[in-house]
Structure 1
Amino acid sequence: MNYQKYQKMYHNVPLESRDWPSNELTKAPMWCSVDLRDGNQALYSPMTTDEKIEFFKFLVKLGFKEIEVGFPAASHTEFEFTRRLIDENIIPDDVSIQVLTQAREHIIKKTVEALKGAKNAIIHLYNSTSTLQRDVVFNKNKEEIKQLAVDGAKLVKSLVSGQLDGNIRYEYSPESFTCTEPDYAAEVTNAVLDVFEPSADNKVIVNLPSTIEVATANVYADQIEYMCKHLNNRENLIISVHAHNDRGTGVASSELALLAGADRVEGTIFGNGERTGNTDIITVALNMFCQGIDPELNIDNIDEIIEVFEKYNRLPIHPRHPYAGEMAYVAFSGSHQDAIKKSMDKFGQSPKNKWANPYLTIDPTDIGRKYEPILINSQSGKGGVSYVMENKYGYILPKPMLVEFADIVNRLSDEKKTVLTNHEIHQAFKDVYVNVAEPIKTRFYRSSEESEGTALSATIEFEGKVSSIEGRGNGPLDALCNGLRSYLKEDFEICNYTEHALERSSNSKAATYIAIKRGDNMYWGAGVDANINTASIYALISAVNRMLSK
């Protein structure tokens, strides 16, 4: 690979001191959805006007107060969509629509025309300022590019004053900001601000986009901090960031930019946008949420958001997507599964506890998800198996039995070379341990209490022969154990016994687990029945059958 054909595309940032690394996020930024502009223009099949209206309503439902609805001068469709939002009174009074316009006269005029009658709107003016765009695309020098921005701002301001009655705010973006010399970006932006005249009652949005991501996220943070320190009238500005994802760090760039002084984030749901996409607002918001910060968006039903997104964007959500992916809360590693289960058990015992989990940054139930998608494969351990058996089927296996069964599950998954379903795990447990009826099958048993203990008689079938056995002991189980030892001429003893109800109800079946020991070997069996004594008998017979089958 010819790496020598490439060079650094950003300019050094002359920061004398760097403050942002010491900062922490403590509150949510202002959010601006650009799904209907950046997102929609990047779709193979852009939304129809009716679809865009429905998607706009959904963005409002999510809590967005600023929504970029399009580029009205770009096409008749874009213009008519903006008009329908206004004419049909679809925009709530507390929501501002944002429209994009280049710093070109005919485009600005069409954009202002599209906003007539709007109660609250933002006119987003932009022109490209980067070295490459100046030299290759526009063939203009620095002064000419700055004048283009100033002339555009003057025209916007004069047309708004003469034609629009609503609450109209201004936004300016030096496009390709990250590839622009920092001092020149500040110079052009300050010239535009001189025209817009920001004040405490009429703040101006300065949007600093990484139109193309060309550096690590810390460089973007340096650029944002530089601008915050070199823009005039900073207290009356809203510093906005609009990060793309060309290097896969759009979320990180936005977060570090907030540390560096940004007040506002433009992005899209799940990061849809040109090329590799925009900042994923859902991820940024939930990153804040799991740090104890209110994201100030209504994102507690992630599956509904996915459903609407996929319906109108016709794009799938990656299964490994943070928070939203179908595998986001799945652990295959045995140690991970074990740690997740233990932490969830502890957290569940005391809901007042702060959330703490070694492998889950968020409680999935907070966004409408469940813990159930623990998947078991050959790399899984007893934690995942325990979780499935207890939470899906009610079995609380003794730890030594769980270790043995987890090994059986791993070998089964390895043989199948795939993930096992919950049903397959449950079926394997029943096949190996529960009410095992070969080679000994219990047909009938009866016990009675005598002065010296319990007497038990049973009818069993063994190797095709029906026989009666008798035994005495300290209870029915001990009596059966003694009877089987005598009949089989085998020396074994019960070394572990556990029982519990499978469900929390009066008619629940009982589950009993018994381990018997012969020499140095241990054999587990399980019994399930509505009668606890019968369940114990079945568990002992199951353990003995497993011993005889070895």
Structure 2
Amino acid sequence: MNNNQVVIFDTTLRDGEQSPGAAMTRDEKLRIARILEKLRVDVIEAGFAMASPGDFEAVKAIASTITESTVCSLSRALENDIDRAAEALKPAKRGRIHTFIATSPIHMKYKLCMEPDDVIKQAVYAVKRARNHIGDVEFSCEDAGRSEIDFLCRIIEAAIDAGATTINIPDTVGYALPHQFGDTIKTLIERIPNADKAIFSVHCHNDLGLAVANSLSAVVNGARQVECTINGLGERAGNASLEEIVMAMRTRSDDLGVTTGIDTTQIVPASRLVSSITGFPVQPNKAIVGANAFAHESGIHQDGILKHRETYEIMKAEDVGWNTNRLVLGKLSGRNAFKTRMEELSISFDTKEELNEAFQRFKVLADKKSEIYDDDLQALVSDVRSSNELIEKYKLIALNAGSSMGETPEARLTLLINGEEQETISAGGGPVDAIFKAIEKCANSGAKLALYNVSAITSGTDSQGKVSVRLEKNGRIVNGAGADTDIVIASAKAYIHALNLLEAESAKANPQTGP
């Protein structure tokens, strides 16, 4: 491997999915994996195979589908976890087992209840067992950011001797500062005798807003793999953002002196797909992928841009995939044109019936919108797939809602609940509030509405509205999504989708969440 090439390890499907409410179905994970492959991500962490049957099937499906990227499964340093990961990865052209154990004093004492020497023995056992299954093994020191440097040197040397090919140094709780973290990486590489036999990796969380800065500091000091996620998705405040890491390396190659193999023109499409599937909107001022990232309102800035782009822009918008949301289809487009464009978007259909259903929904949408964009198609497929994959306890049959100045808004709706129709009327502070109250009057779910978000999928007054609804119940959090040219109907779809997710979501075996 070229020592100036940085491996990009994407964990959107594993650590990103651990964001509250970001659970994805097998098909949704496959769609994201395909665009990550198109992005030329080196390693795709497809999930935690031991966590649940669903996670196992998702890892296996991705391993069976992806050919250009390495497919990875996380596992604790436990026999059953490692064997389960290996089984899921069997179909992979290139597979990796990523095993981890906590190394900080606080984790070893209170979480693992193990002595340091026993932790080293367990790490060595785990790496050796993983190597018996597969040649590519990554070992992570969970909470390395708060671990003692001498202990890190001991356990990493032992893990490399046992066969680990990548050593990951995670800042699990986002505690590190850039100069500190960079010094840690440099010290480990210098002090560990067999450090040259493994690639050093970093996995930084964003609790203090320093995940990208810490990752880049690590690269400057010798790390040659960065673990990151699309849109910075992840637990708590998230992970290092893939788009920011990649574009920092590209834009400041003069100082950093490193490169990646990423096709940057796929960054914005990947960002939009992940946002669409998870229901987590991208803030307008988000670096690289936010709607305002290349917008200029100040007259001075606009004047400068018109005279010479580089006066106020350090990157080209088209280099990261902006302006790719082109008009592709209209109401006169046929089934073959629809199918072909879907394939270009890395969307395939398992059955003829699924294609037919998606095409019919496209035709309905085309009657409402004169211009159909790629983002409209992505939302349409998400709608079809979510309804097909979920066992729908709740289904919207009919809805009539409205508001008039000086009158209380009212909603009348009919729901199908476990095959039985229920009709109700409810009033509210607005039409959406009235709809949600009407749904709850029928469903009586006991869920708490934690978030309601509306965004336009494309520009124009006929744009589809994308609604995200977050519900909480008994410690479980789900994000429902709905899209429609009528924002009121989209809101009802999103709430009902969230209710069905609450019914379908099963608890995962996750006593240790990972690096």
Q: Under a length normalisation based on structure 2, what TM-score does the superposition of the two structures give?
A: 0.59
Does the Cα contact within 8 Å between 1:176 and 1:209 map onto a contact in 2? yes
Report what 2:148 is aligned to.
181
Q: Which moved more, 1:26-35 or 1:121-130?
A: 26-35
Report what 2:231 is aligned to.
270
Report what 1:260 is aligned to.
221
Q: Does 1:247 align with 2:208?
A: yes
Deviations 1:8-58 (A, max 9, x none): xxxxxxxxxxxxxxxxx9944111111110011224041111111111111
Does the Cα contact within 8 Å between 2:32 and 2:270 map onto a contact in 1? no
Report what 2:159 is aligned to.
192
Deviations 1:445-481 (A, max 9, x none): xxxxxxxxxxxxxxxxxxxxxxxxxxxxxxxxxxxxx
Report what 1:363 is aligned to.
316
Report deviation, 1:323: 1.7
Report what 2:475 is aligned to.
none
State how 1:110-149 maps to structure 2 within 5 Å.
110-149=84-123
Distance 1:26 1:316, change over 3 A: farther
Report deviation, 1:301: 4.7
Q: How many residues align?
A: 318
Give the 3-state SS of the residue equivalent to 1:37 in structure 2: coil
Q: What is the rounded CA distance, in whole Å, between the counterparts of 1:302 and 1:116 in structure 2?
A: 29
State how 1:214-233 maps to structure 2 within 5 Å.
214-233=175-194
Report what 2:377 is aligned to.
none
Match of 2:73 among 99, 106, 114: 99
Distance 1:361 1:82, change over 3 A: same
Q: Which moved more, 1:230-239 or 1:218-227?
A: 230-239
Report what 1:168 is aligned to.
135
Q: Does 1:62 align with 2:39?
A: yes
Q: AA paired with 2:100?
A: Y
Q: What is the rounded CA distance, in whole Å, between the counterparts of 1:243 and 1:75 in structure 2?
A: 25
Give the 3-state SS of the residue equivalent to 2:16 in structure 1: helix
Give the 3-state SS of the residue equivalent to 1:323 in structure 2: coil
Report deviation, 1:294: 5.2
Does the Cα contact within 8 Å between 2:157 and 2:192 map onto a contact in 1? yes
Give the 3-state SS of the residue equivalent to 1:331 in structure 2: coil
Q: Which has the bigger relative contact order, CA under 8 A and spacing at least 6?
A: 2
Distance 1:195 1:312, change over 3 A: same
Deviations 1:151-201 (A, max 9, x none): 22233334x2xxxxxx631110111001100111111111122221x6xxx
Report deviation, 1:209: 0.7
Report what 1:314 is aligned to.
279
Report deviation, 1:368: 4.1
Does the Cα contact within 8 Å between 1:43 and 1:313 map onto a contact in 2? no
Give the 3-state SS of the residue equivalent to 2:135 in structure 1: strand
Deviations 1:205-251 (A, max 9, x none): 01111111113111110111111112232222111111111110111
Report deviation, 1:304: 2.1
Q: AA paired with 1:168?
A: G
Does the Cα contact within 8 Å between 2:9 and 2:226 map onto a contact in 1? yes
Report what 1:342 is aligned to.
307
Give the 3-state SS of the residue equivalent to 2:264 in structure 1: coil
Q: AA paired with 1:193?
A: I
Report deviation, 1:149: 1.2
Q: What is the rounded CA distance, in whole Å, between the counterparts of 2:33 and 2:211 in structure 1?
A: 23
Q: What is the rounded CA distance, in whole Å, between the counterparts of 1:176 and 1:45 in structure 2?
A: 23
Q: What is the rounded CA distance, in whole Å, between the counterparts of 2:153 and 2:305 in structure 1?
A: 49
Does the Cα contact within 8 Å between 1:246 and 1:277 map onto a contact in 2? yes
Distance 1:47 1:214, change over 3 A: same
Give the 3-state SS of the residue equivalent to 2:108 in structure 1: helix
Match of 2:240 among 270, 273, 279: 279
Give the 3-state SS of the residue equivalent to 1:300 in structure 2: helix
Report what 1:527 is aligned to.
none
Give the 3-state SS of the residue equivalent to 2:56 in structure 1: helix
Q: Under a length normalisation based on structure 1, what TM-score does the superposition of the two structures give?
A: 0.55
Deviations 1:287-316 (A, max 9, x none): 222235754212225542332122222111
Q: What is the rounded CA distance, in whole Å, between the counterparts of 2:259 and 2:113 in structure 1?
A: 47
Distance 1:84 1:337, change over 3 A: closer
Distance 1:282 1:28, change over 3 A: farther
Match of 2:52 among 69, 72, 75: 75
Does the Cα contact within 8 Å between 2:74 and 2:99 map onto a contact in 1? yes
Q: AA paired with 1:272?
A: L
Report deviation, 1:328: 1.5
Does the Cα contact within 8 Å between 1:286 and 1:295 map onto a contact in 2? no
Report what 1:236 is aligned to.
197
Q: What is the rounded CA distance, in whole Å, between the counterparts of 1:287 and 1:26 in structure 2?
A: 18
Give the 3-state SS of the residue equivalent to 2:214 in structure 1: helix
Give the 3-state SS of the residue equivalent to 1:118 in structure 2: coil
Report deviation, 1:137: 1.2
Q: What is the rounded CA distance, in whole Å, between the counterparts of 1:97 and 1:32 in structure 2?
A: 10
Report deviation, 1:121: 0.8
Does the Cα contact within 8 Å between 1:28 and 1:288 map onto a contact in 2? no
Match of 1:49 among 23, 26, 35: 26
Give the 3-state SS of the residue equivalent to 2:96 in structure 1: strand
Distance 1:84 1:330, change over 3 A: closer
Distance 1:152 1:305, change over 3 A: closer
The structure having more radius of gyration, on CA atoms, is 1
State how 1:198-217 maps to structure 2 within 5 Å.
204-217=165-178
